[in-house]
Structure 1
Amino acid sequence: MKTKLIALDLDNTLLNPQKNISTRNELILKKLHRKGIKIILTTGRPIKGIVPFIKQLDLLKADDYAINFNGAVVVNNLNKKTLFSQDIVKKDILPIYNLAMTYHFPLDIVSLQQAYSIIELGKSTYENYIGSLMTFSNLSFTNLPDQKYYKFVCQDDPTKLDKIVALLKTVDDLTIVRSRRNLLEFLPKGTNKKIGLEKLMSHFGIEWSEVIAFGDEENDEDMIQAAGVGVAMGNAVTSVKRSANDVTVSNVDDGVAVFLENYFTNVL
């Protein structure tokens, strides 16, 4: 079956440890995009947090989209119109906030336009991770605006996150997933990258057998299992490697480009 769409996780997959898209990855993706294959960035980041990568890859045609917030939002790269979204509101966050107050872990809450650090829980390193692409405000939970949010996160030491995950086993009204070993994400119930991709694929009339998906972490597992060709990075967690059809080399060694150059030998 002809490949029509390539879905790419960003952190620790397409991006190298310096948080950049290498020249080798850039060139192969641009070539495939010019040949009509849809290149879809599928990430936990908001759209504002991936604009430089969209521009670098020239993903600015009228039918170019991205999957953001781990599948909670599907947005057009050019006009920023939303094709699909699932959200949470302040009351959905309250039970986790109460747990955070009891067990002392940080929370950052993210809307389309900006993020909020709940200051009485302590400042995490999440703002440094996102960088200057997203505006952050420090405020108390009481003063958090009552509006739509698309995820909230806890960034902390991986060992501490293991303990926090154990506390959350009875929480069933949110989707809770690791996107990095030190980042735990809280999403609208039922949200994952597979769901977001399915909405976009339905829009274009694309089947899963026509999709290649790359990833490295738990939040990539659903789309890798569903894709016609699911590719785990060499640095992926064990469960993702087990779910994949193939394993490429690590993001340090341009694993995306290595796989695509071999897969599309007769096309390029």
Structure 2
Amino acid sequence: MITTIALDLDNTLLNSAKEISAENERVLKQLHKMGKRIVLCTGRPIQGIQRLLTQLELFEPTDYAITFNGGLIRHNQTQRILAQTTIGKQEVAALYQDAEQRHYPIDVIGADKVYSIVTLGKSDYESSMGAVLPFADISFDELPADRAFGKAVCAAPAEVVQRVRKEMPTELTDLLHIVPSRAELLEFLPNNVNKAHGLSQLMAHFGETLDNVMTFGDEENDFEMIAQAGVGVAMGNAIPQIKQVANAETLTNNEDGVAAYLKQYFDLR
């Protein structure tokens, strides 16, 4: 039985205006009142989803959110951390060395701020993130050695991201989980962290498994949770790799694809 609905945000639950539509909101609230868990599962930091949690009223005792692509699971009501996997300055140092050699920008995301390593050149990340977190422009040497970080990113034009990923050395692919969340954003995550990993930890907390989860996604960073869920649903606008491993396909994010599939599956009006 499906007890939990896990949703990617950008280009999945959110439309092109970066909003949850009235219909998606209505259907998700209906299912939440019926006892289904609604879990936002995103690469964003927790600060970047607070308004969405508020809009969907996800503050019941069993409500959690998964951020940093599976690296952080936090209780919405109390902010208590259920599970967390991070990287440190040592991992960032290996990435920085490669970025210096191959000329691409990186930003490092901590709990309370984003560190832009401007000695590599200022990236597009701050302009795309808005005011969700404060940004600090620093050199690599100034990056705190005693802090844990959720992830690092390379925010750049799609052709740059594609080149950086294609030529990534084995030492880094062995050290980090490297995956794009969109064409212009490459994410560097703790090794073995992905959205399915985070969901497995959350479901174990409830004495359940991924068989009890329905997932919605569109991009490569959704791959594991779409492939491993009891029901994995690809958006109509999803990349081919996601559609290939999904159990089902729905309409696009601009056509209320989440609501359309949920109404059909749960026989809602």
TM-score (norm 2): 0.96
Mapped partners of 1:208, 1:248: distance in 2: 20
Change (3 A) 1:169 1:261: farther
Mapped partners of 2:76, 2:120: distance in 1: 34
SS at match of 1:133: coil
Mapped partners of 1:247, 1:255: distance in 2: 9
Q: Is the 8 A contact 1:41 1:66 kept in 2?
A: yes
What residue is the counterpart of 1:197 in the other structure?
Answer: 199
What residue is the counterpart of 1:111 in the other structure?
Answer: 110
Worse-matched range after superposition: 79-88 or 94-103:
94-103
Mapped partners of 2:236, 2:59: distance in 1: 30
Structure 1 residue 168 corresponds to structure 2 residue 168: yes
What residue is the counterpart of 1:45 in the other structure?
Answer: 44
Once the two structures are TM-superposed, the CA of residue 169 in structure 1 deviates from its matched residue by 4.4
Q: Summarize deviations over 1:20-71 as a string: whole Å, max 9, x none.
A: 1111111100100011000000000111111000000000112210111000
Unaligned stretches of 5+ residues in structure 1: none
Once the two structures are TM-superposed, the CA of residue 207 in structure 1 deviates from its matched residue by 2.6
Worse-matched range after superposition: 121-130 or 28-37:
121-130
Mapped partners of 2:129, 2:78: distance in 1: 23
Q: Is the 8 A contact 1:4 1:206 kept in 2?
A: no
SS at match of 2:131: helix
What stretches of structure 1 move > 4 A for 4+ residues in a row?
none
Q: Is the 8 A contact 1:65 1:75 kept in 2?
A: yes
What residue is the counterpart of 1:156 in the other structure?
Answer: 156
Mapped partners of 2:127, 2:260: distance in 1: 30
What residue is the counterpart of 2:26 in the other structure?
Answer: 27
Once the two structures are TM-superposed, the CA of residue 206 in structure 1 deviates from its matched residue by 2.0
Once the two structures are TM-superposed, the CA of residue 133 in structure 1 deviates from its matched residue by 1.6
Mapped partners of 2:210, 2:62: distance in 1: 19
Q: Is the 8 A contact 1:118 1:138 kept in 2?
A: yes
Q: Is the 8 A contact 2:199 2:210 kept in 1?
A: no
| RMSD across aligned positions (CA) | 1.1
What residue is the counterpart of 1:99 in the other structure?
Answer: 98
Q: Is the 8 A contact 2:65 2:76 kept in 1?
A: yes
SS at match of 2:91: helix
Q: Is the 8 A contact 1:6 1:213 kept in 2?
A: yes
Mapped partners of 1:80, 1:115: distance in 2: 20
Instruction: Give, as a single letter, the amino acid of the residue that structure 2 aligns with 1:252.
Output: N
Unaligned stretches of 5+ residues in structure 2: none
SS at match of 1:21: coil
1:214 to 213, 216, 220: 216
Q: Is the 8 A contact 2:27 2:263 kept in 1?
A: yes
TM-score (norm 1): 0.97
Mapped partners of 2:61, 2:122: distance in 1: 39
What residue is the counterpart of 2:262 in the other structure?
Answer: 260
Worse-matched range after superposition: 174-183 or 93-102:
93-102
Mapped partners of 2:87, 2:107: distance in 1: 14
Q: Summarize deviations over 1:134-192 as a string: whole Å, max 9, x none.
A: 11111111101121001000011111111101221412111101111111000111100
Q: Is the 8 A contact 1:25 1:254 kept in 2?
A: yes
Mapped partners of 1:131, 1:25: distance in 2: 24
Question: Aligned pair count?
Answer: 266
What residue is the counterpart of 1:137 in the other structure?
Answer: 136
Once the two structures are TM-superposed, the CA of residue 253 in structure 1 deviates from its matched residue by 1.1
Mapped partners of 1:206, 1:255: distance in 2: 26
Mapped partners of 2:89, 2:20: distance in 1: 35
